[in-house]
């Protein structure tokens, strides 16, 4: 247990005393269906958070988004410290699961482990951030205003919430993205960037028996392009290209007039983005099956989380504060993408994976270690209190 001053003790004690309420709110959020394309459900998660926050005296505002979940923004002022740049706590309310998943697999607890869709990724992080805002609204002590941003479309690349994330991060002195902590207890200090592409190839239909030579095969052209895309993989640079979806053709006995695929590019270094995107576009442009043409567009994108010296300093502070709570925390790199990349890319010192500990995200086995809720909240609270 922490051995800090009275204010630190008051705050960490209050968080510990609210564990049951944290779990109750988590249950409510997990049982609220909120796949990325289910706007009503993602907004219902916002309603639950807002209800809790407003009852705790935390002011909320909501930015309406037509196509995906609204952006919910909660603020805790810091009297006398208003001139300082805010501390930003971020999280996403959407999950990857199809509609009806919480009915099939509702929240449950077995032996201290919680299960259910999005329990770790990242409804527990949302709960933690909400309680952090609540405790500072109640007791004060933060050296800067706090902003909680709860967005609704991270799992599909944050197409509509990215501008809200970037605007808040640009203004923030520190950003904590409460994606799940790793089983080791580690947080995430680096992430790959990722781009999803949709590529379409056009050929010409013909009867593949009677008029074979009149046809131009889009499937053949796409097959050649797939080879070329995959050849761009450079594991040493941490650069991978995966064609994860293909489709095309009209019938087995028709020369295919159409084919398409989706490509997932991952890379580490921000400067690698330009050349590799150019290389993909070149492969798309240059068709080797005569008579075909092709086009490509970006349908989703995450920027890499690259640790700046300021982010390293923030991480070091977090690690020290977590140690005072009795947690041993290190930093690790993940090939998975997250909103923290957008925050880091605009220059905000950012630490990701500060949420409670869980694993097996995006699968039916996803779980959360319930006894990590309070200590992870306490570690973040101390970090907020002690920010210079």
Closer residue to Zn ion in complex, CB, 151/202: 151
Q: Give whole-number Cα distances, 13 to 19, 96, 143, 145, 377, in Å.
A: 10, 35, 19, 22, 11
Neighbour tally for 92: CB within 10 Å? 31
70 to 109: interface string for Zn ion, x by CB under 5 A:
----------------------------------------
Quick one: tokens of 158? 């944050």
Closer residue to Zn ion in complex, CB, 158/202: 158
* Strand boundaries in 77-214, DSSP class E: 87-92, 108-110, 113-115, 146-151, 174-177, 187-191, 193-202, 206-207
CB of residue 105 to Zn ion, shortest distance in Å: 18
CB of residue 154 to Zn ion, shortest distance in Å: 6
Helix axes 124-139, 6-17, angle to 10 degrees: 140
Residues 216-235 that bind Zn ion (CB under 5 A): none
Cα dihedral 170, 172, 173, 177 sign: negative
Closer residue to Zn ion in complex, CB, 156/279: 156
CB of residue 64 to Zn ion, shortest distance in Å: 23
Quick one: tokens of 40? 């009503």
Closer residue to Zn ion in complex, CB, 215/353: 353
Quick one: tokens of 163? 């501008």
CB of residue 122 to Zn ion, shortest distance in Å: 4
Given candidates 122, 263, 289, 329, which one binds Zn ion under the rule CB under 5 A? Answer: 122
The helix/strand/coil state of 194 is strand
Q: Give whole-number Cα distances, 213 to 189, 203, 208, 220, 228, in Å.
A: 56, 12, 8, 14, 26
Closer residue to Zn ion in complex, CB, 121/221: 121
Nearest CA to 99 out of 47, 28, 35, 27 is that of: 35
CB of residue 333 to Zn ion, shortest distance in Å: 16
Applying CB under 5 A, the span of 119-127, 159-167, 219-227, 271-279 interacting with Zn ion comes to 119-127
Closer residue to Zn ion in complex, CB, 122/263: 122
CB of residue 302 to Zn ion, shortest distance in Å: 11
The residues that bridge with 188 in the sheet, in sequence order, are: 332, 352
Applying CB under 5 A, the span of 13-21, 78-86, 178-186, 296-304 interacting with Zn ion comes to 178-186
DSSP state of 115: E
Residues 357-386 that bind Zn ion (CB under 5 A): none
Applying CB under 5 A, the span of 93-101, 120-128, 170-178, 263-271 interacting with Zn ion comes to 120-128
Closer residue to Zn ion in complex, CB, 121/301: 121
Using CB under 5 A as the binding criterion, the count of chain residues that bind Zn ion stands at: 3
CB of residue 310 to Zn ion, shortest distance in Å: 24
121 interacts with Zn ion by CB under 5 A: yes
Residue 239 backbone dihedrals phi, psi, to 5 degrees: -110, 120
CB of residue 355 to Zn ion, shortest distance in Å: 9
Which residue number places its CB atom closest to Zn ion?
121
Q: How far apart are CA 76 and CA 89, in angstroms?
A: 11
Residues 179-218 that bind Zn ion (CB under 5 A): 179
Applying CB under 5 A, the span of 2-10, 29-37, 117-125, 162-170 interacting with Zn ion comes to 117-125
Closer residue to Zn ion in complex, CB, 260/369: 369
Burial 262-288 (b: 16+ CB within 10 A, else e): bbbbbbbeeebbeebbebbeebbeebe
Cα dihedral 202, 203, 208, 211 sign: positive
Quick one: tokens of 36? 């990325």
Closer residue to Zn ion in complex, CB, 27/121: 121
Applying CB under 5 A, the span of 173-181, 191-199, 243-251, 266-274 interacting with Zn ion comes to 173-181
CB of residue 247 to Zn ion, shortest distance in Å: 28
Closer residue to Zn ion in complex, CB, 122/199: 122
CB of residue 96 to Zn ion, shortest distance in Å: 9
The residues that bridge with 265 in the sheet, in sequence order, are: 195, 241
Interacting residues toward Zn ion by CB under 5 A: 121-122, 179
């Amino acid at each position: 247990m922490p051995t800090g001053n009275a204010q630190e003790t008051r705050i960490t004690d209050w968080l510990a005393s609210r564990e049951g309420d944290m779990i109750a709110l988590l249950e409510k959020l997990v049982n609220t269906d909120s796949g990325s394309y289910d706007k009503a459900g993602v907004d219902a998660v916002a309603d639950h958070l807002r209800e809790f926050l407003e009852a705790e005296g935390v002011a909320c505002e909501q930015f309406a988004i037509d196509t995906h979940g609204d952006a919910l923004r909660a603020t805790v002022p810091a009297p006398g410290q208003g001139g300082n740049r805010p501390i930003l706590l971020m999280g996403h309310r959407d999950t990857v699961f199809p509609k009806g998943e919480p009915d099939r697999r509702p929240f449950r607890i077995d032996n201290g482990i919680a299960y259910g869709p999005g329990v770790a990724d990242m409804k527990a992080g949302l709960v933690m951030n909400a309680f952090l805002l609540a405790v500072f609204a109640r007791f004060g002590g933060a050296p800067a205003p706090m902003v909680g941003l709860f967005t609704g479309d991270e799992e599909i690349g944050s197409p509509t919430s990215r501008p809200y994330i970037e605007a808040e991060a640009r203004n923030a002195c520190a950003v904590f993205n409460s994606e799940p902590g790793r089983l080791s207890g580690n947080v995430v200090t680096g992430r790959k960037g990722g781009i999803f592409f949709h590529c379409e190839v056009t050929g010409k239909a013909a009867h593949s028996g009677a008029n074979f030579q009149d046809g131009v095969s889009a499937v053949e052209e796409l097959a050649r392009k797939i080879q070329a895309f995959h050849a761009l993989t450079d594991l040493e640079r941490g650069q991978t290209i995966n064609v994860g979806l293909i489709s095309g053709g009209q019938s087995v006995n028709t020369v295919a007039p159409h084919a398409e695929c989706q490509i997932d590019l991952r890379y580490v270094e921000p400067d690698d983005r330009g050349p590799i995107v150019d290389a993909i576009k070149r492969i798309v442009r240059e068709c080797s099956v005569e008579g075909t043409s092709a086009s490509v567009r970006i349908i989703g994108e995450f920027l890499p989380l690259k640790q700046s010296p300021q982010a390293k300093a923030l991480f070091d502070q977090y690690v020290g504060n977590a140690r005072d709570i009795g947690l041993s925390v290190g930093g690790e790199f993940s090939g998975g993408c997250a909103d923290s990349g957008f925050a880091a890319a605009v220059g905000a010192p950012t630490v990701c994976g500060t949420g409670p500990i869980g694993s097996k995200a995006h699968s039916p086995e996803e779980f959360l270690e319930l006894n990590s809720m309070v200590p992870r909240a306490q570690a973040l609270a101390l970090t907020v209190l002690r920010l210079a």
